[in-house]
Amino acid sequence: MGDSPDQMNYRHLRHAQPRFSGLESGHRACQGCGEALGARLVTEAAGPDVVYANATGCLEVFTTAWPDSSWRVPWIHSLFENAPAVAAGMEAALKARGKATRVISMGGDGSTFDIGFQALSGMLERGHNVLHVCFDNEAYMNTGVQRSSSTPHAAATTTSPSGKERMGKRHLKKDIVSIVAAHHIPYAATSSVAYPSDIRKKVRRALAIDGPTFLHIHTPCPLGWGHDGALSIEVARLAVQTGLFPIIELERGRLAGSMPIRTVRPVTDYLQLQTRFRHLFADDDRAREELEHLQALADHNIEIYNLRGTQADSRDSEGADTVRRGGMRWA
Amino acid sequence: MGLKLTRGAFAHPGTSLRYHTGSWRMERPVHVHRPAPCHSVCPAGEDAQAWLGLVAEERYREAWETIVAANPLPAVTGRVCHHPCEQACNRGHYDEPIAIHHVERWLGDQAIASGWDYPAAAVAHDAPAVAVIGGGPAGCSAAWQLTCLGYRVDLFEALPVAGGLLRSALPPYRLPRDILDAELERLLASGIAFRPAQRLGRDFSLDELKTEYAAVFMAPGTQRSRDWDVDGATPHDLHIGLDLLKRWVDIGSIPSWSSAAIIGGGNTAIDLARVLRHCGVETVHVVTHQSLPHAGVEQPDTMPAIAREIEQAMEEGVIFHEHRGVQRLVLRGEQVTGLELVHRKQLRETDNTLRHVSFEGTESLLHVDQVIPAIGQTVDPAGLASLLDQRDYLLASEHGRISGHPGLYAGGDACGRHGSVSAAIGDGRRAALAIARDLQRQADPDSRPADPVTPAQLNMNYFEPRPRQHAPVLPVAERSGEAEVIGGLTPQQAAQESQRCLSCGNCLACDNCWTLCPDVAVLKTRRPAEDGSHYVFDYDFCKGCGLCARECPTAYIMMEAEP
Amino acid sequence: MQYALEGSQALARTVALCRPQVIAAYPITPQTHIVENLSKLVADGVLDCELVSVESEFSAASVVLGAVAAGARAYTASSSQGILLMCEVLFNIAGLRLPMVMTCANRAVSGPLSIWNDQQDSMAVRDAGWIQLYCTSNQDAVDTTIQAYHISEQTELPVMVCVDGFTLTHTLEVLDIPDQQQVDRYLPPFNFERRLDPASPISIGTLVAPDYFTEARGDHHRAMNNAQQAIVAAAAGWEDVCGRRQNPLICIHDMTDARIGILTLGSIAGTLADARDRYQNVPATRLMALRTFRPFPAEAIRQACAGLTDLVVLERALSPGSGGIVGTEIRAALSEMQNAPRVHNFSVGLGGRDVPLDIYPRIHEAVRAGSGIPFDIIDLEPDKLPAAV
């Protein structure tokens, strides 16, 4: 249970950590939750002088079961579809009050791609100084793994199951970052929890910009995707290394940067780790066709974003997460 | 319950700390320091990963002190060891193994250049005294360890100087004299009482030592050459390989043959072959019934010589004949003019014994002026006859104890188990520890050594390929004299190599676990914890997802069942 | 100061006087002139605030929600479809106890489509937890809007000021617009204790389990009930500033010993007053206009109905399959009275149908007929009805 007398009480140590704590322990996310990790990394990188609007979804549910809150930042959850609008209101208020505090809007793929799409578009179009962060676990996870427009093609969810007549989700994953970028905002980017330093860099980059910015972070869901919680980073990494989730940056709608893939991995390496794609490995012509389709989609991404690395690079898919010996360094 | 609702049901920050999600766990992460393979295979028992980490942190003196805790002669072993650590290095499965051997040499040379004292506390003048017979690597190692353990040591050496085979048989192009002298001198100055020119049997007896000392460690080496003949025939001017080598090392001259064949597959054979070539013998053959080493191929009968030495010998023009035996000496009178070679192999029988088999019909003639056997040595029975009891070697346990003779310990070549400098050093250390335990009536430790970290357990995603640093090698044309064939690394190179170390089984302080825990259950500590890590697990909140263990690059975190 | 202004224009100026820091604007007939006028005031530098031209009413309500949470005084206005679109947000704002003021320019709700005035929109959201105040005239709307901020910020409950669309919003009349000093004296700067602030962060909008949700609702309900006092006090305070008498909960035209009363909400109170002057040969009638619908001032209503034998509730909405909305609530309130008047509940003027002066004698006729029908749409023309199914 953790109440043994020899258990160290780390309260002091916890409060002395050399990083800003935005999301605290004690939240009720599943083991290995990619979104919890993403939210922790984003709030850490953004620092204390930020207010947050959070859409309905896993993140707000597992962090704020009254009277407990895991947030150490000022935070509001309103509804499912309005986080960017609430954020816009906060931004306007802070501006009117002459405050420099920044505003971040957070939502999952459900709220960002679907029900809150309009609010997001409106916020972007009006040029609010708000960063919207989408934690993309590719389905309505909080309500039980139903498909969203972010669910990848051929993935199984409870509302796009596989069966005799179907091979998982029929439709393709909505290309949200292109749609967002088409608002010609100063900065829109994708990232992944497999590359925490990339997330940090992009959060800071976005917050240093005046105007609407967007960060789309790939966050695996062990429960919904069907893998062990310990594999969340590995799965996220493979999504990037296969080309299925490209890491790119767009400025005013144009490609400004990308994370090259040093060694492209076949999509099967990624798919076979997740039971939501299990039906694609059956001895079935349609399954084989779908595997090819997914490979073609990955190849297409690599082509249009020019993701194939030409040489080893400290910022490519294998260099970006390189560790260094820390030694006695505290921070 | 008494808790009042807040207006609009807002919550205060960080209050989730009340909810201990640690109760969800089915398994928990723990730090497990398993040995790196370099540590597991080192015959001397060095933990190369540990000292490479210190080099990477620019704590050079501490790194050297870590080495000498296990091996007091790094400048020596950093030149002459066959470095099984590099063969076992997990990085070899990623790009190229760490040049552990070369970094060790660099540290040893640094210590000499900087005058770092051997770190032993002063021994009490009334501490128990232990006698060590033999000033070679095994004896020096035992003497050093015993001094560290607080014992007074008298080191007896038959020759006027210490070093044993290191001095007498290792050519200077492999181990320069000044390096050897410097290291030995500094080691002996750490508090060991050195008694040169004291020969067992002639100047003192084992029985005397047994009464005067609390324990005796014997590392007399193998001073007696094996008898060798071919069907009873030998050259009239038979030179035993080791003696020849020693003579060359000592006085630098070799009889001027135009061609010679050395029989044997060990380091002595190779050293001698190279010496002959350096001295101008035009054609030098090495004949062995064993096989040449092939990288990556496991063979049951590989020559015991160090692969690198064999490679350099080949560069220098030595001709190798593997799986060959000498069937007949071709003599003109008493002068050797050739050898009849035959294909020969050692076959393993069903009862697991080895049997030499020569294959009829494969005979050939090799014309040489001289044939030199280098087929191994045995223990000189002088002063040890009763202990040896007709055997070639002293019979000792892995801890150096001699069954039936409490208070007597042995190690090194004299035990006939292995034939390397590092193994001898290891023997000396293990015996010293056993001596200490026995004198304090402590039991031997129960532990079976832990399995080393395997490449599959590491997470290679977090490392970047980087080429191995190469030490300068003298071009073949310049290899003739005493100049070292293999040079040393620069400080930058040593630093680079240490940074390539994957830190198998030990915390790298890379912050991965700290960064990747979704539950903020890994906390960073200002000072390293007792287990060497820089992090602790807050089990109040850890849900046991296993991400930290999976993404730890060094296999330092393991998941174990929740107690 | 007196001005001849269209209702919308007056409201815009009044809102500006209240010094909002954030305004969210999404146009919908008949609210459009309010937001257009506010935009002009901002463009001309008269009003210094952040005007956010949102992309839907849902976002309009969300923007003001966020603005208040971040400590700014905020305003928005809507009608009809917009009110319903933002319905979810209205519940959210009230439940989170965020103070703000919104003008509802009352308009009928689709389908079928109608742009004209009735009160179905604000009635549809009566349970959202907002204070609802119904204005009978544009002057009333001006005064009520200012008081609304005072009430809202004191009670931490949002206030919806209901103003009949077109009838009031698009009518030009002479109005007294207070000056800035008056409003400043009455309305201190907004200082929201629970605002989001990095210096003392809190989490707003948590998940409340059954063990506390009842108390959350209960606290809200209690606050709404207690708000009646704040509403009364705010009116008295504003009277001190501007000199105009306010009727905070219910406006009674005269407390004679009339036995028949007519209670209504909004601008048709004026029509009834004119009609009473015109039609002298009907029984004496007590005219009442309910200003505060939420919280529902049951006691004040009972007192206002003391001595009546018949009470006509004339309302501008209906609940299909049930009948009148206000009437049903009034009936329930009066049922606790000794000698409660008989309640005659009528809907009138749905979808903007003109309420002529002769509604007055028709009402009296219906009372005299004393039908047993608890509810009727008094101006329904049966010949126009399609065949019943």
Q: Are residues B166 and B272 in the same domain?
A: no
**Cβ contact, residue pair B534, A63, below 8 Å:** no
Give the H or E element holding residue A229: none
Asked if B22 and B87 sit in the same domain, the reply is: no
Q: CB of C363 within 8 A of CB of C312?
A: yes
> Using CB atoms, which residue from A13, A37, A228 is nearest to B516?
A37
**Domain-by-domain residue ranges, chain A?**
26-304
Task: Pick the last residue of a domain from B447, B466, B500.
Answer: B500
| Average pLDDT of chain A, as a whole number | 94
- Residue among A21, A96, A49 nearest C75 (CA): A96
Residue B234 scores a pLDDT above 90: no
The tokens for B546 are: 């296993």
Decide if A88 and C59 are in contact by the 8 Å CB cutoff: yes
From C55, C67, C201, residue closest to A92, measured CB to CB: C67
The pLDDT value given to residue B35: 95
For the record, the structure tokens of C286 come out as 């007590």
Same-domain pairing of B340 and B309: yes
Predicted confidence (pLDDT) at residue A4 exceeds the cutoff of 50: no
Please choose, from the candidates B328, B310, B311, the residue with its C-alpha nearest in 3D space to the C-alpha of residue B264: B310
Q: Do C55 and A118 touch (CB under 8 A)?
A: yes
In this prediction, residue B169 carries a pLDDT of 83
Same domain, B197 and B285: no
A7 pLDDT more than 60: no
The domain boundary, picked from B353, B376, B399, lies at: B376
Q: Which among C63, C203, C212 has the least Cβ separation from residue A64?
A: C203
Final residue before a domain boundary, out of B485, B500, B515: B500
- Given a cut of 70, whether residue B218 has pLDDT beyond it is yes
Do C216 and B12 lie within an 8 Å CB cutoff?
no
Tell me the backbone φ, ψ of residue C333, rounded to 5 degrees: -65, -40
Per-residue confidence (pLDDT) for residue B297, from 0 to 100: 75
B13, C203: Cβ pair inside 8 Å? yes
Count other C-beta atoms under 10 Å from residue B382's C-beta: 15
For residues B552, B555, B559, B560, the Cα torsion angle rounded to the nearest 10 degrees is -160
Distance from CA of A248 to the nearest CA of B (A): 21
Give the pLDDT of residue A252.
Answer: 96
The DSSP call for residue C177 is P
**Dihedral (CA of A273, A279, A285, A289) sign:** negative
Whether B4 is in a domain gets the answer no
Domains delineated in chain C: 2-190+212-242 (3.40.50.970), 250-380 (3.40.50.920)
H or E element that contains B559: strand B557-561
**Cross-strand pairs, A102:** A50
**What residue ranges of chain C have pLDDT lower than 70?**
255, 371-372
pLDDT value, residue B1: 57
Torsion of CA B117, B118, B123, B128, to 10 degrees: -160
Lowest mean pLDDT across A12-26, A192-206, B158-172, B182-196? B158-172
Write out pLDDT tens, residues A75-116.
999 999 999 999 999 999 999 999 999 999 999 999 999 999
Query: Which subunits have 3 or more CB–CB pairs within 8 Å of chain C?
Result: A, B
Q: Do A97 and C67 touch (CB under 8 A)?
A: no
Q: Any idea which residue has 């004393």 for tokens?
A: C370
A41 contacts in B (CB within 8 Å)? Answer: 515
Residue pair B401/B432 in contact by the 8 Å Cβ criterion? no
- Determine what percent of chain B is predicted with pLDDT higher than 90: 71
Question: Distance (Å, rounded) from C-alpha B516 to C-alpha A26?
Answer: 16
C92 in contact with A at a CB cutoff of 8 Å?
Answer: yes
Q: pLDDT of A274-313, one tens digit each?
A: 999 999 999 999 999 999 999 999 999 999 999 999 888 8
Residue B9 is assigned to a structural domain of this protein: no
pLDDT at A3: 38
Write out pLDDT tens, residues B362-418. 999 999 988 899 888 889 888 888 888 888 899 999 999 999 999 999 999 999 887
CA distance B542 to B20: 9
Strands A254-258 and A248-251: antiparallel
Q: Which residues pair with B523 in a beta bridge?
A: B536
| 3-class DSSP state of C230 | helix
| CATH at residue B109 | 1.10.1060.10
* Min distance B55 CA to chain A CA atoms (Å): 11
User: What CATH number was assigned to the domain covering residues A26-304?
Assistant: 3.40.50.970
Residue A1 has pLDDT above 60, yes or no: no
Do B518 and B485 share a domain, yes or no? no
> Which CATH number characterizes residue B384's domain?
3.50.50.60
- Of B45, B60, B145, the residue nearest B103 (C-alpha): B60
Measured distance CA(A66)–CA(C208) in Å, rounded: 5
What single DSSP character describes residue C282?
A: S
pTM: 0.91
Write out the E strands in C55-140. 74-78, 101-106, 131-134
Q: Provide the token pair at C276.
A: 């009473």
> Tokens 């292109």 appear where?
A178
What is the count of residue pairs from B and C with beta carbons less than 8 Å apart? 33
**Contact check, Cβ <8 Å, B519/A27:** yes
Residues B353 and B270 in one domain: yes
The answer to whether residue A33 neighbours chain B at the CB level (below 8 Å) is: yes
Q: Which of A94, A101, A115, A117 to mutate to test the interface with C (most CBs of C within 10 A)?
A: A94
Residue B428 host element (H or E): helix B421-439
Q: Report the residue from A61, A66, A75 with minimal CB separation from C201.
A: A75
Residue B1 domain-assigned (yes or no): no
Helix (H, G, I), strand (E, B) or coil at B523: strand
CB contact under 8 A, A326 and B510: yes
Same domain, B275 and B353: yes
- Quick one: tokens of A203? 């959060």
Could you tell me the sign of the dihedral formed by the alpha carbons of C341, C347, C349, C355, in that order? negative
Q: Which two tokens stand for residue A277?
A: 């794609």
Instruction: Based on the fold, state whether residues B270 and B355 are members of the same structural domain.
Output: yes
Binning pLDDT at 50, 70 and 90, where does residue B64 land? very high
pLDDT in tens, A39-79: 999 999 999 999 999 999 999 999 999 999 999 999 999 99
Residues B501, B550 contacting (CB under 8 angstroms): no
Residues B50 and B23 in one domain: no
Number of compact structural domains in chain B: 4
Q: Is B11 on the interface with C (CB under 8 A)?
A: yes
- Find where tokens 């509810």 sit: C375
| Residue-number span of the structural domain to which B366 is assigned | 239-376
Give the rounded percent of residues in chain A with a pLDDT score beyond 90: 91
Cα(B372)–Cα(B257) distance, integer angstroms: 12
- The two three-digit tokens of residue C28, written as one number: 């919908």
Mutate: best of A33, A235, A325, partner B, most B CBs <10 A: A325
Let me know whether B138 and B248 are in one domain: no
Sort out which chain A residues have CB atoms less than 8 A from B532's CB and list them: none
What is the per-residue pLDDT for C257?
A: 78
Alpha helices in B171-286 (DSSP H): 177-188, 206-212, 241-251, 267-278
Residues B215 and B255 in one domain: no
Q: Is C212 on the interface with B (CB under 8 A)?
A: yes
Q: What's the pLDDT at A200?
A: 97
Contact in structure between A243 and A307 (CB atoms under 8 Å): yes
Q: Please enumerate in sequence order all residues whose Cβ is within 8 A of that of A6, keeping only pairs 6 or more positions apart, or say none.
A: none
Q: Say if residue B488 is in the same domain as residue B421.
A: no
Q: Return the closest-CA partner of residue A323 out of B521, B27, B556.
A: B556
